């Protein structure tokens, strides 16, 4: 309509010498200018929106959850640099989480994605407007992240690694099955207190261990040097296995722990598939972290398309896997029972 109006008005100026336009050439220039401006408006309207997604994680490595998230966003049609601004904020310590999250709030990112247990709690404290999607972590109700799984808080939802701590009872049971001769287990746990599920998991292990014929030796960890001290002091004379109540503080030490355990010929239960496939831990049982991240991308996509976080119930992993490293078993002089190998999803030979 705008183009036709200008055409008619300008055409009349050629026949009307009293036109406000001084000459036909000027009229033609104006018409061209208006047409170009219209095309510019259309071009701007057709440009894809660039969504800003900030991910905050604790550690110093790109985890399987992060890989799964990026692949999931790509599968959903988001291309970094084209319609997606993806900022990866990895903090080396807990103190570094808050500045990263605050920067996302100040820049008004469309979504904040967090991994682990501490980052989503800080994000929740920092903003009530920006949607938050958490990936992994422990029981979101117990840690105080949400009050309801079916109807989460106003701006936060996601997928948890497990709803309760019973997974640790199952892990200890699997560990005992893989190492039938095991009698003494050294248990490392985060004793700093920022996540109450660590202590709940420890109490469960204390209760279940005697039923499996196990004696546990507790090693509280508050700083990285505590980990190094604990694993340097283990030996086949003092323990039959090394078991972790998984926490971010252990993430960057997985390789060192696996190497030390192998040298001392002590079985190590890892906290991720990568700890077995890449670093040499003996065994892992738990959620597939890559799939958690990939599913987390679904939450991000739904929110970017207009769904409110509180309308997306928190999910639990539907797929658990067991990974066994036979190379490590041979190194420490262990024979994995056939029934355990038969149940394994992946066996590293």
CATH code assigned to 166-287+320-348: 3.40.50.2300
State the pLDDT at residue 48.
79
Domain ranges of the chain: 2-46, 166-287+320-348
Count of other CB atoms within 10 angstroms of residue 124:
20
C-alpha–C-alpha distance, residues 148 and 142, integer Å: 10
Which are the contacts of 136, defined by CB distance < 8 A and separation ≥ 6? 65, 115, 116, 159, 160, 161, 287, 289, 292
State the pLDDT at residue 268.
96
State the pLDDT at residue 19.
43
Dihedral (CA of 208, 211, 214, 217) sign: positive
State the pLDDT at residue 92.
85
Calculate ∠ Cα 234-235-237, nearest 5°: 125
Which are the contacts of 208, defined by CB distance < 8 A and separation ≥ 6? 169, 172, 173
C-alpha–C-alpha distance, residues 57 and 89, integer Å: 6
C-alpha–C-alpha distance, residues 224 and 345, integer Å: 32
* Burial (0-12, 13-18, 19+ Cβ within 10 Å), 170: middle
C-alpha–C-alpha distance, residues 58 and 53, integer Å: 17
Strand order, beta sheet including 241-244: 215-221, 184-190, 241-244, 267-269, 283-287, 320-325, 346-348
State the pLDDT at residue 42.
47
Q: Give per-residue burial for 303-334: e unless 16+ CB within 10 Å, then b.
A: bbeeeebbebebbebeeebbbbbbebbeebeb
Residue 74 parent element (H or E): helix 64-75
C-alpha–C-alpha distance, residues 264 and 257, integer Å: 11
Calculate ∠ Cα 214-219-225, nearest 5°: 150
Report whether 239 contacts 186 (CB < 8 A): yes
**Per-residue model confidence as pLDDT tens for the chain (349 residues):** 333 322 332 333 334 444 444 455 555 555 555 554 555 444 444 577 999 999 999 887 788 899 999 999 999 999 999 999 999 999 988 899 999 999 999 999 999 999 988 899 999 999 999 999 999 877 888 888 899 999 998 899 999 987 656 788 999 999 999 999 999 999 999 998 877 788 888 999 999 999 999 999 999 999 889 998 998 889 989 999 999 998 878 877 888 899 999 999 999 999 888 899 999 999 999 988 899 999 999 999 999 999 999 999 999 887 889 999 999 999 999 999 999 999 999 999 9
Helix-then-strand count for the chain, H and E: 13, 12
For residue 197, the number of C-alpha atoms closer than 13 Å in the C-beta half-sphere is 23
Report whether 222 contacts 191 (CB < 8 A): yes
C-alpha–C-alpha distance, residues 205 and 192, integer Å: 18
CA 309 and chain centroid, separation: 17
Task: Take residue 339 and report the two structure tokens written for it.
Answer: 């029934």
Calculate ∠ Cα 337-173-163, nearest 5°: 135
């Amino acid at each position: 309509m705008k183009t036709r109006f200008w055409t008619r008005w300008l055409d009349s100026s050629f026949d009307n010498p009293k036109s406000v336009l001084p000459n036909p050439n000027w009229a033609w220039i104006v018409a061209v200018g208006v047409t170009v401006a219209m095309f510019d408006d259309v071009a701007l309207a057709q440009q894809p929106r660039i969504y800003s997604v900030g991910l905050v994680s604790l550690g110093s490595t790109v985890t399987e959850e992060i890989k799964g998230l990026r692949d999931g966003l790509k599968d959903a049609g988001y291309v970094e640099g084209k319609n997606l601004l993806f900022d990866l904020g990895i903090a080396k310590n807990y103190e570094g989480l808050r500045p990263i999250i605050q920067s996302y709030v100040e820049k008004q990112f469309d979504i904040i994605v967090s991994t682990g247990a501490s980052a989503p709690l800080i994000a929740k404290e920092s903003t009530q407007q920006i949607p938050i999607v958490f990936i992994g972590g422990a029981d979101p109700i117990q840690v105080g992240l949400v009050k309801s799984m079916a109807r989460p808080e106003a701006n936060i939802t996601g997928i948890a690694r497990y709803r309760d701590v019973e997974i640790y009872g199952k892990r200890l049971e699997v560990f005992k099955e893989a190492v039938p001769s095991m009698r003494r287990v050294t248990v490392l746990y985060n004793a700093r207190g920022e996540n109450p599920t660590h202590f709940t998991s420890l109490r469960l292990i204390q209760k279940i261990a005697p039923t499996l014929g196990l004696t546990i030796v507790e090693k509280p960890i508050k700083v990285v040097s505590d980990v190094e001290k604990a694993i340097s002091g283990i030996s086949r004379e003092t323990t039959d296995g090394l078991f972790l109540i998984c926490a971010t503080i252990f993430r960057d030490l997985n390789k060192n722990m696996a190497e030390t355990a192998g040298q001392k010929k002590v079985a190590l239960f890892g906290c991720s598939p990568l700890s077995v496939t890449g670093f040499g831990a003996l065994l892992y049982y738990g959620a597939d972290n890559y799939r958690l991240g990939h599913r987390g991308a679904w939450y991000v996509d739904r929110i970017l398309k207009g769904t409110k976080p509180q309308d997306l119930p928190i999910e639990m992993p539907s797929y658990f896997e067991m990974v066994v490293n036979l190379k490590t078993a041979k190194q420490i002089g262990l024979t994995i029972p056939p029934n355990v190998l038969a149940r394994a999803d992946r066996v590293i030979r």
